[in-house]
Structure 1
Amino acid sequence: MQDDPVDYDERFASGTGVNGAECVIERTWLLLPTGRVVATDPLGGRYDDLPAPFVQVVPPGRYRVDLLVMDGLIAAARLCVRDESAASWEEALPANLCDGGDAAAAGYDVNAGAGCFTDEETFRRLAEVSGSGWQLTLLEDLAWMRDGPTVIPRSEVDGSSGDEGDENVLVAFPSGEGDGTYRTLVGRTRGGEIACFVTDFLPHDA
């Protein structure tokens, strides 16, 4: 575990970014059918080599996603698991790194200017969908939505309808100033429970 110099709880609570810059918070919801969280570039990857989920697993359920928007850019994205402050922080490590990979390489590469939170099962099923309709939807939405989320509903994955089909199973967002490698951190409560996942898109001292 590590203590992170950035107080993400304060940033998201106060709407304050680096160097005291004023921020706004955009919120939406995400359904995690298995609780195996994936953070990745939803448009720039190879679907014959899917990103591994994080070793930190949460109960299946519906969770809030907060976006910290600073100067029209997404500064950070947070997947909220519990409405409790984080007492400590650790790297969110994909399972393949823990199985012998290089932990120093933690973080995901962005090649299409976007990041996302989703579930391992959802991303695998989206990769199996014939055609690229869901990718085109994300690409079109992200082209004009530079300071907010765009989502893929469950109906795009399994054809469900009604309220269940409207549940968001992937939440995407522009990645700060664009392409790069971005790490995701896990915040834990004093009792050791997972409070949140945070992907940081801007330098701490920018």
Structure 2
Amino acid sequence: MILDSLDVSYGEMWGSYRGMTHPNPMSRSLAARKHAAGMDYAVLLSARDQPLALVERWPRGMWRVYLFDDRSWRTQMIDLKPHGTGMLLARWNTRWEFPNEQEYSLDKWDVQETTTVSADGQVEVKSVFAGPRAASTEPLHTRTSGPSSTPVRRFAAPVESFLCPAPEFGDWQVFAPFLAQQGHEPATTVVLNDVSVDEESGPLRPTGVEQLFSPGTCDTADGPAVAEPVDAGVLRITSGQLVISDPGWIGETPRTVAVPSGEFPVTLSLLRTARGVDVAAAKVTFSEIPPREWEMALRPGEDLGLLGEGQFYGVGVDTGTAAFMDATRTVLEDQLDEDLFIPLDSDSQFSVELPGPRPEPNLVAFRAGRGDGTYPVWIGRTDDGQVGCVVVDFRLRSADGAR
């Protein structure tokens, strides 16, 4: 069958997942903005509802192409990297053979053949045959358990045979010749048809942030719950810069908000459900005037226009805890376990203060919801644009109880 047209759809990266469609589709315009910003995304090329190629845009000008056979099995992966000519070089080309559908679903191949090409056209081909099988949880393209290898073949070839143009956004015809490697015959001219996806309504919105700290009953995904605001101490700010971070991973560019200097109360919103008590949100208050509007706390270079439906930039948590602190506050690693992590591991303690000698800043840490993840940080501004409060939402409930 000659392919004279391809359907094009866009989504988040998903090469490590099964499926015939994007698990997180996005509009063409959002994908174009991500392309311009150098961010990753995925392009699915299909025909008659059959996937043919999944093209992933990677950082630093890298691309990855997954090819599907006529059974819609993903049996080939090609990694392309920039070449000195301004083209892309098919640096690695890996094929897999599977004996049947069950083995394919388990990522258990019979043969894996990998072709490696150097920038000057030196080619190495290595075939690996699976030995005695055992259950494997490794990804398809990394599995090497129990194989025996045939001798490696090496030879020289014109490097031009392994080059393709580096595409501008929308120039997906450049990948059409790869389809022939799976028996799909592209026509000389291939028409691209964009699959319509509505423009996303945009990033996560700060709906009902102030209600996170209202006491009383509410509904959650775990059923009825009771919200209870509790005092978590006083935060001392000396530099006019508030940092919101995992205290174990502060990093070089933490999420920072310009705030007044002084001492300000910290409040936790506890959520009591049938499964226990969790910290649903944490707030540091800088003004008694209620916020008029909310905005997402952004780091330099973060662009809301690059976020899809319900997405957000947030604070990353890898130790199960988050903290408010002054930008000048330092943390000693050997102090964290005994003074912070161990106390917060108690069922009855939800926050910890690491004091600093006055007038030095302190640090107030607290449990991060139900553990590690990424959580939005909201800035509440008063009528005159001043920061009234800063809130970390651990996304266990919302104003209407939905999550």
Tell me the TM-score normalised to structure 2 length. 0.41
Corresponding residue of 1:62: 263
Compute the displacement of 1:151 (Å).
Answer: 1.0
Q: Secondary structure at the match of 1:85?
A: coil
Task: Write 1 or 2 for the structure with the bigger share of helix.
Answer: 1
Q: Secondary structure at the match of 1:137?
A: helix
Corresponding residue of 2:362: 169
Contact kept in structure 2, 1:26 and 1:148, CA below 8 Å: no
After superposition, where does 1:9-88 map in structure 2 within 5 Å?
10-12=211-213, 14-16=214-216, 18-19=218-219, 21-27=225-231, 28-43=233-248, 45=249, 49-54=251-256, 56-71=257-272, 72-88=277-293
User: What is the CA–CA distance in structure 1 between the aligned matches of 2:348 and 2:303, rounded to whole Å?
Assistant: 32
User: What is the CA–CA distance in structure 2 between the aligned matches of 1:15 and 1:170, rounded to whole Å?
Assistant: 26
After superposition, where does 1:189-204 map in structure 2 within 5 Å?
189-203=382-396, 204=398
CA RMSD of aligned residues (A): 2.5
Larger radius of gyration: 2
> Residues 118 and 135 of structure 1: is their aligned pair in 2 closer, same or farther, counting only changes over 3 Å?
farther
Q: Residue deviations 1:71-113, cap 9 Å, x none?
A: 110000001010121111001113xxx2x34554621111111
> Residues 30 and 145 of structure 1: is their aligned pair in 2 closer, same or farther, counting only changes over 3 Å?
farther
User: What is the CA–CA distance in structure 2 between the aligned matches of 1:146 and 1:139, rounded to whole Å?
Assistant: 13
Contact kept in structure 1, 2:212 and 2:281, CA below 8 Å: no
Q: Secondary structure at the match of 1:121?
A: coil
After superposition, where does 1:69-108 map in structure 2 within 5 Å?
69-71=270-272, 72-94=277-299, 98=300, 100-101=301-302, 103=304, 104=307, 106-108=313-315
Q: Residue deviations 1:96-140, cap 9 Å, x none?
A: xx2x34554621111111111111100xx32xx4x6124431111
User: What is the CA–CA distance in structure 1 between the aligned matches of 2:342 and 2:205, rounded to whole Å?
Assistant: 38
Corresponding residue of 1:109: 316
User: What is the CA–CA distance in structure 1 between the aligned matches of 2:374 and 2:217, rounded to whole Å?
Assistant: 20
Contact kept in structure 2, 1:75 and 1:202, CA below 8 Å: yes
Compute the displacement of 1:22 (Å).
Answer: 1.9
> Would you say how many aligned residue pairs link Structure 1 and Structure 2?
181
Contact kept in structure 2, 1:40 and 1:117, CA below 8 Å: yes
Contact kept in structure 2, 1:34 and 1:120, CA below 8 Å: yes
Larger RCO of the pair (alpha carbons < 8 Å, separation 6+): 1
Contact kept in structure 2, 1:11 and 1:17, CA below 8 Å: no
Contact kept in structure 2, 1:151 and 1:168, CA below 8 Å: no
Compute the displacement of 1:193 (Å).
Answer: 1.4
What is the percentage of aligned positions where both structures have the same residue? 27
User: What is the CA–CA distance in structure 2 between the aligned matches of 1:145 and 1:50, rounded to whole Å?
Assistant: 32
Gaps of 5+ in 2: 1-203
- AA aligned to 2:323 is C
Tell me the TM-score normalised to structure 1 length. 0.77
Gaps of 5+ in 1: 155-159
> Residues 101 and 194 of structure 1: is their aligned pair in 2 closer, same or farther, counting only changes over 3 Å?
closer
- AA aligned to 1:117 is F
Contact kept in structure 2, 1:91 and 1:184, CA below 8 Å: yes
